[in-house]
Amino acid sequence: MSGIWGLIGGTGLSALDGLEIESEELIQTPWGAPSAPVVRGRIGGQTVCFLARHGHPHRIPPHRVNYRANLWALREAGVDRIVAVNAVGGIHPQLQTGTFCVPDQLIDYTWGRASTYFEDDLQSVTHIDFTSPYDESVRERLLAALKAQNIGCLPYGVYAATQGPRLETAAEIRRLERDGADLVGMTGMPEAALARELGLAYACLALVVNPAAGKATEVITMEAIEAVVLAGMQQVKAVLQRLLQGPPHA
């Protein structure tokens, strides 16, 4: 695989250590404007394009993100493989606050979101194979980068994508757990499916920022989540640096 790495995540990643920013471009798409400009730069000899999923500043809630425009803009920028960074709640016992997961499956509980490019003026109905929603080659690169940085993670897991923007109830989390979910977030879909429709190799690096509802006695607060994000983002940056400094065309 050759081409350009794309990173989707929070605005903190735009300050990725060692990133030499070359340009910022707000790419217009048939689906409207993306959440933010595509920031193009280089790190470790690799060209990388970064897009802030929630805008800059962080202001677009999960159910209002223009996922179609975001993925289209990254493809127009020349990206062919994507690492999506997601803050999630931990359901699996091993996914404690501050730990990482590279999921291999997902379940979509979202509704009402624009979730496909294949809906109007089609010459034929199109169905993508979504048996394995994450690209295995990108997953393996992520897992290797985590190992090289001595950062432990759960190397598999089922990501439950919920609607938001509210957090889930304890009963909802019990339901997700019965369904087989290991972690819960609000932005994993339709992002992953749209990447597949565009032929982009896509994988998720999930940082657990809180126990899912009912998994701890403490009240979940945004202050506590933000503190975990601040600390965990340093590890995220280290992992992404290692990933990008790998073999250029691996």
Render pLDDT for 139-198 as a digit per residue (tens, 0 to 9): 999 999 999 999 999 999 999 999 999 999 999 999 999 999 999 999 999 999 999 999
Residue 1 near residue 137 (C-beta atoms within 8 A) = yes
- Provide, rounded to the nearest whole percent, the portion of the chain with pLDDT above 90: 70
* Residue 14: band (very low, low, confident or very high) from pLDDT cuts 50, 70, 90: low
**Residue spans per domain, the chain:** 4-244
212 marked as part of a ligand binding site: yes
User: What CATH code would you report for 4-244?
Assistant: 3.40.50.1580
| Residue 191, H or E segment | helix 191-197
* Residue 246: band (very low, low, confident or very high) from pLDDT cuts 50, 70, 90: low
11 marked as part of a ligand binding site: yes
* Residue 12: band (very low, low, confident or very high) from pLDDT cuts 50, 70, 90: low
At residue 76, the pLDDT reads 96
Report the alpha-carbon distance of residue 98 to residue 210 in Å, rounded.
8
187 marked as part of a ligand binding site: yes
162 marked as part of a ligand binding site: no
1 marked as part of a ligand binding site: no
Dihedral angle computed from the Cα positions of residues 27, 203, 195 and 29, in that order, rounded to the nearest 10 degrees = -10
Least confident of 92-96, 142-146, 246-250: 246-250
190 marked as part of a ligand binding site: no
Report the alpha-carbon distance of residue 247 to residue 167 in Å, rounded.
39
At residue 248, the pLDDT reads 43
